[in-house]
Amino acid sequence: MAKPQILQIGPYPQWDEEPLNAAFEVYRYFDAVDKPAFLAEVGPGIRGIATRGELGANRAMIEACPDLEVISVYGVGYDAVDLAACREKGIRVTNTPDVLTNDVADLGIAMMLCQSRGVIGAETWVKDGSWVAKGLYPLKRRVWGRRAGVLGLGRIGFEVAKRLKGFDMQISYSDVEPKSFAEGMTFVADSVELAKNVDFLFVTLAASADTRHIVGRDVIAALGAEGMLINISRASNIDEDALLAALEDGILGSAALDVFEGEPKLNPRFLSLDNVLLQPHHASGTFETRQAMGKLLRDNLEAHFSGAALPTPVL
């Protein structure tokens, strides 16, 4: 029996490439020099797409594959997949939630600590001889006992909040409605009000048309000159122009970011700022989690083509 034909949009680690190629006939879109021509050639035979959260699958790609049945996303975010096109054509969509939740939450906390205590600058202070030449490193801000806000109390947001409790922080959150499981946390419906009353604001909500630029000029100004913004969700949730202006002008104290518009080619204005911590979209970047993500991506594809229930469906 012929193996289902899969269009692979971006590369995966070798431990995922090998079983993917064993189970399916894989066409590597990312290796094609002339991608439109490649898609026109192989698209008619494609039954599944294996992609990554930031790469997705747009309408043109979907329509180039008339027999497409399923799109499996490596990552929790699926905003780069044209869900409207998938609904129209009855195409199933899956992602890889849960397996990356704790690692993403861990990095968010690490970014808060690193930025608040000036860890990267302090290491440079030691290595470049400043400790010897200039003495003690400039004082930074404590974390414990302060106020934290979580914008989006889903899987990742809840794990962030659990970790914040270990620092004896006052925790508030915003979501579409109060959560029954948010014991000891304060619900604040409005994101501007949330930002106004916290020192650290974690952005952990799923990206959608409704959440695009939810962290805009008003939220950033409310967080203020002593506040810190930490984004471990999707870049589209933040208005980057407003963020950059606020960081440059001192309206916002600092930021710690793992995601960017147009990544990896982020806005060069970020590179000249000393009040922002930049990370290369690697919140899920541990061996354990990436292996679990790859397995879940394949499990979804294999379940679909065997007629079994999808482990983690989006559509």
DSSP letter for each residue of 195-241:
HHT-SEEEE-PPP-TTTTT-B-HHHHHHH-TT-EEEE-S-GGGB-HH
Spell out the residues 6+ positions from residue 18 whose beta carbon is closer than 8 angstroms to its own: none
Nearest to 229 by CA among 212, 215, 211: 215
Kindly report the number of other CB atoms within 10 A of residue 186's CB atom: 14
Q: How far is Cα 231 from Cα 229, in angstroms, rounded to an integer?
A: 7
Preceding amide of 264 cis, omega within 30: yes
Strand 186-187 relative to strand 200-203: parallel, antiparallel, unpaired? unpaired
Spell out the residues 6+ positions from residue 102 whose beta carbon is closer than 8 angstroms to its own: 159
Is residue 263 annotated as a catalytic residue, yes or no? yes
Helix (H, G, I), strand (E, B) or coil at 107: helix
- The residue annotated as part of the active site, out of 193, 263, 269, 302, is 263
Pair 298, 311: CB distance under 8 Å = no
Sign of CA dihedral 227, 238, 98, 25: negative
Is residue 142 annotated as a catalytic residue, yes or no? no
Is residue 213 annotated as a catalytic residue, yes or no? no
- The residue annotated as part of the active site, out of 92, 155, 234, 290, is 234
- The residue annotated as part of the active site, out of 281, 290, 298, 304, is 281
Tokens representing 221?
A: 């100004």
What are all long-range contacts of 157-161, with beta carbons under 8 Å and residues at least 24 apart? 157/202, 157/204, 157/205, 158/182, 159/101, 159/102, 159/104, 159/105, 160/105, 160/108, 160/109, 160/202, 160/204, 160/232, 161/185
Nearest to 227 by CA among 107, 146, 173: 146
* Residues assigned a catalytic role: 234, 263, 281
